[in-house]
A = this chain, B = another copy of it.
C-alpha cells in the first residue's frame, strides 16, 4: 500500500476481533514509532506495548472514551516528559503515533488513539517513573468490521480543503 492510499483510506477502528497480532506485526508497529522524527532528535518518548488482557482492561478505565482499549490486541502507551513544558513534546508524540498507525494500517491492522485523564491510576497500572507522563495511548487490532479496512472514505468526514487552507497569508 502506498502512503497516499494509506492516508486516504485510514479510519479510526475501535472494535476489534478477539485475535492476537503476530509478533512481527507488533514489532513493525513499534519500530515505526521508534523511527519517527523528533525535535532535535531528542526521541523524548518511551512506548509500553501492552497485550495482557487485565492491563488492557485497567487502562481502558483511565479515560472517558478509552473503553476501546479493553478489546484491543495491543495498546501502545506513549510516555513523554511533562507535556506542558514544551510544545514540541505532544507534537512529537503525535508524529510517532501517526507513524505507528499508518504502518499498522498497511499491515491490515486498525487503530485508534485514546486520551487518558486518570494520570495517577495509569501510572500505577503501568509502573513508570515520575519523570515520564502518559496522556495518550493507541489501541491496535484487527477490525471487527473487516469491511472498514478497504471501504472508501466516508463523505463529510473532513472539512473541505478550502476551509482548512490559506495561501501565503490568512
Which residues of A does B touch, CB under 8 Å? Answer: 1-4, 6-8, 10, 12, 27-28, 30-37, 39-41, 43, 45-52, 55, 65, 83-84, 87-99, 101-103, 105-106, 113, 115, 126-129, 135-136, 153, 157-159, 161, 164-170
A46 and B98 form a contact (CB under 8 A): no
Partner among B10, B43, B135 whose Cβ is within 8 Å of the Cβ of A159: B43
Contact check, A48 vs B170: say whether CB atoms are below 8 A apart: yes
B99 touches A97 (CB 8 A): no
Oligomer copy total: 2
User: Cβ of A101: which chain B residues have Cβ within 8 Å of it?
Assistant: 37
Residue contact A55 to B94, C-beta cutoff 8 Å = no
User: Could you give 28 example pairs across A and B, Cβ below 8 Å?
Assistant: A2-B3, A3-B6, A3-B32, A3-B103, A4-B28, A4-B103, A7-B36, A7-B102, A33-B164, A37-B113, A41-B158, A43-B158, A43-B159, A43-B164, A46-B164, A47-B166, A48-B166, A48-B167, A49-B165, A49-B168, A52-B168, A88-B136, A90-B91, A91-B135, A94-B96, A94-B98, A127-B169, A127-B170
